[in-house]
Amino acid sequence: MRMDERRIDNRLLCAELVEVIWEDDSGRKKRRVANLEDISLSGICLQMEKELPAGTPIRMSYGDGELVGVVRYCVYRDIGYFLGIQLEDGCRWSTQHFKPQHLLDPRELVDRAMLRHDSPADSVPV
């Protein structure tokens, strides 16, 4: 785990367009499409074209459901703003309710790479 990593739960990488809903400073409801970058039981990372300040409550809508949380950080990186969202207590993500089309566990990639590396097919006879 990286030193600056705050999320305890395993992150799964994904790529899914979702709708993000929040209220601006004047109380008006705002909606934007965002890319869901990664997801865990207790948090999500979204990439958006709009900056949202830390502490902003948001709703992420998908299909027939939604996840509710609070922006913990928002940083600009090359192609847009990346928002770290901590899901509210009692609001947990589950593949039973929402499974992004492209979902990848990075640990599986490491395991596969280790198996290929240790594979006898890779050994060269002497």
Q: Is the pLDDT of residue 100 over 60?
A: yes
Per-residue pLDDT tens for 27-73?
999 999 999 998 888 899 999 999 999 999 999 998 778 999 999 99
pLDDT at position 55, please?
97
Query: What's the mean pLDDT when you consider all of the chain?
Result: 81
Q: Which residues contact residue 93 at a Cβ distance below 8 angstroms, ignoring those fewer than 6 apart?
A: 39, 40, 41, 42, 44, 67, 87
Q: Whole-prediction pTM value? A: 0.74
Confidence band for 112, pLDDT divided at 50, 70 and 90: low
pLDDT at position 67, please?
92
pLDDT at position 119, please?
58
- The residues spanned by each domain of the chain are 12-122
Q: In percent, how much of the chain has pLDDT > 90? A: 47
Q: Answer whether CATH 2.40.10.220 is correct for domain 12-122.
A: yes
Confidence band for 1, pLDDT divided at 50, 70 and 90: very low
**Residue of 65, 84, 62, 64 whose CA lies nearest to 73:** 84
